[in-house]
Chains A and B, each alone.
Chain A
Amino acid sequence: MDTKSNQQTDVPGGASAPEKIRAHIIEREDREKLLSYYHQMLLIRRFEEKAGEMYTKAKIGGYCHLNLGEEATVVGFCAGLEPDDYVYTNYREHGYAIGRGITPGAVMAELFGKETGCSLGRGGSMHLFDIHRRFMGGYAIVGGQLPLATGAAFAIAYRKSHEVVACQMGEGTTNNGAFHESLNLAKIYQLPIVYFVVNNLYGMGLRVEKGSAVSEIYRKACAYDMASWRVDGNDVLAVRDAVRNAARLAREQHEPSLVEAVSFRFRGHSVVDPDRYRDKEEVQQGRAADPIITFAGHLMEAGLLDENGVREMEERVQREVDEAVTFADDSPFPSVEAFMQGLQEYVYAPEAAAEKGA
């Protein structure tokens, strides 16, 4: 693949062609895979709705940022990677954690601050982690995960290993020094990494055009002579294919690249944000283009899903989310006594070589 910046491709306005998608589904796709994407998207939707509910019930503290509306972007991203690839994300990462195989129970338990949470209740909503699944963390300083992810890719290249790092961020991050420093480092060292920008058009309340001199984010990659693509973040297959292509480029040629998925946030920046800065009409339009309903429609048109199937999937997902809440509720909080007795062990790694991600 040519990686010249002039090879960057654009889907104007982030729109996708339904006909093309239908053709994909019918001709090329495995039914089980398609249904698993549908399942994951619906699971993330219901999980996040439940997380919002649990927040208002004060089961969840701190900040809580939801992936509602971004399910196709999340699931497409996860589906484009191999199981042993490494993932770094920002703080809006519940869906990514679930998509990479952390159980909804371990995620919900983390949100509840329980010992059974995927970060043992030490991190919370913004800091999900699972070394075994190579989910290398949600990070909450904007741009913070980029140099780290770049370093993980450096380690892979150092060891001449075959994995790829995928680093998710929001579009607001691309104005930040860490973004530019990281892309530059990845290119000069030829690192196997995919930078994945979720452009949901708003950095908190700041519209992308107001915060970024170049609002088509994928174009920024050309400054580092990197291939980049812009895809419709509501199209799970388009996102998956773009990430898969980018990952292949990284894996086979150690070429870093950037994928921009144009997405839409159904609600405010975080659970407590009343979202007064966006036009009602814009929000209505965004919600009307619901990626899950759209995808279900395609599946039904292709004869791969029917009303019964939709109902069964809803019931299954509801069950999974309920089980996650029950698990989190029933799990113990970390022991304060053990914590107080082991402060050094909490803060510092022991001398003996501990388990590593690689």
Chain B
Amino acid sequence: MGEITYRQALHDCLREELVRDDNVFLLGEEIGNFEGSYKITAGLLKDFGPKRVVDTPIVENGFVGMATGAAMLGLRPIVEIMTINFIVPAMDQIVNHAAKIYAMFGGQCPIPLVIRTPGGGGQQLAATHSQNLEVWFAHVPGLKVVAPSTPADAKGLLRTSVRDNNPVIFLENLALYNVKGEEPPADYLVPLGQAKVTKEGADLTVISYSRMAAVALNVARRLEQENNLSIEVVDVRSLRPLDHATILASVKKTNRAIVFEEDWRSYGIGAEIAATLQEEAFDDLDAPIKRVASLEVPLPYSKPLELATLTGSKQLIEAINELAPRRRRGKQ
């Protein structure tokens, strides 16, 4: 099996789903003529035409709502929001409408809708173009939220999301698009709500998602070689529903946990996972759960300040060294 980039994995999946199901169509800003701000949809307009690949004006609330309405009649729209920052004007349609319609009307009308959008900082895009807002959506019953970290998971989870009968927020990450990984087999499907142990270990567990799950895996491999630390990495992949069983099984084995996330710490994904662990695995914990997240400020533009603000491998290694069993701690 060859290698493939995260971008190509998404592109291939969109193409395959467009071929498979006439009800699937894409819409968003600059996805057609411009071929996508991040080129995920490059070439699709040419191959599928303007009916299936719909360029929209810059009206996120309008076109997210329009996609939701089309889903009410049984189409399966895949919306691209250029970056997650621009999803904010669409919150009404996502939270008050897409997430509510199935339940509020007594189960009469499913919403098979996917909203793809990249989050993440580190590109010097400053405060309004670098956010990680996934926790807003993960909080809302009626939505599903997935955040793959590898090309294979991107493909497998996107395909499952398109075939799901509920609104799915599909979180990508700007810094992952060029990352390469194993190409999955044809028609690869990853179920929503299943975490994955991406590296086995015995000393502690790092729980993460999206780009930070990739960073965590690299750090764990490095520390294993350099410091003989045995770190287990759990990529939760789905933020809602969250796979409690896999996380708990890992922490019950290692007895120590770090949640590593690019978003802000307070009320974040890490807070949810830490709370779940203390509720369901309190007696198995040998140390308090650590949260490693970004500084709680609007992200500054200047490179040194941006670097200081965002979390990354350095912060994770520090946390690992503080949390690892004493006999195993590495030198700083």
Contact = CB atoms under 8 A, between A and B. Distances in A.
Contacts, number: 157
B284 to A, nearest CB: 27
A123 B62 contact: no
A58 interface: no
B109 A147 contact: no
B75 interface: yes
Interface in B1-47: 25
A143 B59 CA distance: 14
B73 to A, nearest CB: 4
A147 B66 contact: yes
Nearest to B140: A347
Given A151-B69, A350-B165, A185 B63 contact: yes
Interface stretch (B91-99, B122-130, B230-238, B313-321): B91-99
A152 B73 contact: yes
Contacts of B70: 151-152, 154-155, 158
B164 interface: yes
A195 interface: no
Q: Which of B70, B74, B107, B142 counts the most A-chain CB atoms under 10 A from its CB?
A: B107
B72 A151 contact: yes
Contacts of B110: 349, 354, 356
B74 A137 contact: no
A184 B56 CA distance: 11
A341 B165 CA distance: 21
Nearest to A356: B74
Contact of B165 (A151, A347, A354): A354
Contact of B61 (A149, A177, A188, A357): A177
Contacts of B185: none
A158 B25 contact: yes
Given A347-B141, A350-B165, A357-B74, A144 B96 contact: yes
A98 interface: no
A178 B97 contact: no
B165 A178 contact: no
Interface in A330-355: 345-351, 353-355
B153 to A, nearest CB: 20
A86 B141 CA distance: 27
Interface stretch (A74-82, A124-132, A272-280, A314-322): A124-132
A52 interface: no
Contacts of A147: 61-66, 68-69, 93, 97
B54 to A, nearest CB: 8
Given A155-B74, A348-B142, A357 B69 contact: no
Given A119-B104, A151-B67, A357-B109, A184 B57 contact: yes
B72 A349 contact: no
Given A119-B105, A351-B165, A181 B73 contact: no
B285 interface: no
A123 B106 CA distance: 7
Q: Which of A147, A181, A182, A346 counts the most B-chain CB atoms under 10 A from its CB?
A: A147
A139 B54 CA distance: 26
A136 interface: yes
A145 to B, nearest CB: 9
Contacts of A258: none
Q: Which of A121, A123, A156, A347 counts the most B-chain CB atoms under 10 A from its CB?
A: A347
Q: Which of B64, B89, B97, B105 counts the most A-chain CB atoms under 10 A from its CB?
A: B105
A102 to B, nearest CB: 12
Given A141-B96, A155-B72, 7 more contacts: A148-B97, A150-B62, A150-B66, A151-B66, A154-B70, A347-B103, A356-B110
24 contacts: A120-B107, A122-B105, A123-B106, A129-B108, A131-B108, A139-B97, A143-B92, A144-B93, A147-B61, A147-B62, A147-B65, A147-B97, A151-B67, A154-B66, A155-B69, A158-B25, A178-B62, A178-B65, A181-B62, A188-B57, A347-B102, A348-B165, A349-B107, A354-B110
Interface of A: 86, 117-123, 127, 129-131, 136-137, 139, 141, 143-144, 146-156, 158, 177-178, 181-182, 184-185, 188-189, 345-351, 353-358
The 5 closest A-B pairs by CB, nearest first: A151-B69, A147-B65, A181-B62, A120-B106, A349-B110
